[in-house]
Chain A
């Protein structure tokens, strides 16, 4: 089946620094990728939709200047958390839509801890 990877799987950073998370579709091309955030014991909250070659579309309440999304190719989208704060600590999950069958596949997630 289709595989989506994320890197890193976990990261610890200091408050004020920036962290980049990569999401890759390994064996398919994805014109659309989604970024979700999940706090403990809560569900996935859609942050933004990333379309290859165009600007990301952010959900209401998500700061686009803080969460920079780049979808430079059909297999890679990146999320950069800028000037991270402890409240940004969360589980970040990406998903990708296979443009062949329109199925949505999830990555394994990245756990971010900001100290």
Chain B
């Protein structure tokens, strides 16, 4: 089966850096996604890693280690608008097609 773990909640200060970790177990691994979701809205894409290493995109970076089943999302220069849920999602091939399974999400609260 599949198992995705990430912290339930985190808090951070405006302007700081925060790292959200995600560990996973899956078969047929085909990439790991991070999404941001504000309450009542659909998720929005942040990053995608399929190879080991760090992917940087502006204030957001995502890291993947396939051998360890581990990823993290790094948010720099935090802003109040970054308060949201961050979803780690693992893509795997099952039955001939890609399936995206989400972790429970990490609710991040950014305070002044």
The interface of chain A, by Cβ under 8 A from chain B, is: 32, 34, 36, 41-46, 49, 51, 57, 91, 93, 95, 97, 102, 104, 106-109, 111
Contact = CB atoms under 8 A, between A and B. Distances in A.
Interface stretch (B11-19, B70-78, B96-104): B96-104
B69 interface: no
B12 to A, nearest CB: 19
Contacts of A104: 98, 100
Interface of B: 40-45, 85, 87, 95, 97-105, 107
Given A107-B42, A109-B41, A109-B42, A95 B95 contact: no
Contacts of A45: 102
Contact of A32 (B40, B97, B102): B97
B98 A44 contact: no
Given A49-B97, A102-B98, 9 more contacts: A36-B102, A42-B104, A42-B105, A43-B85, A43-B103, A44-B43, A46-B100, A95-B100, A106-B42
A43 B97 contact: no
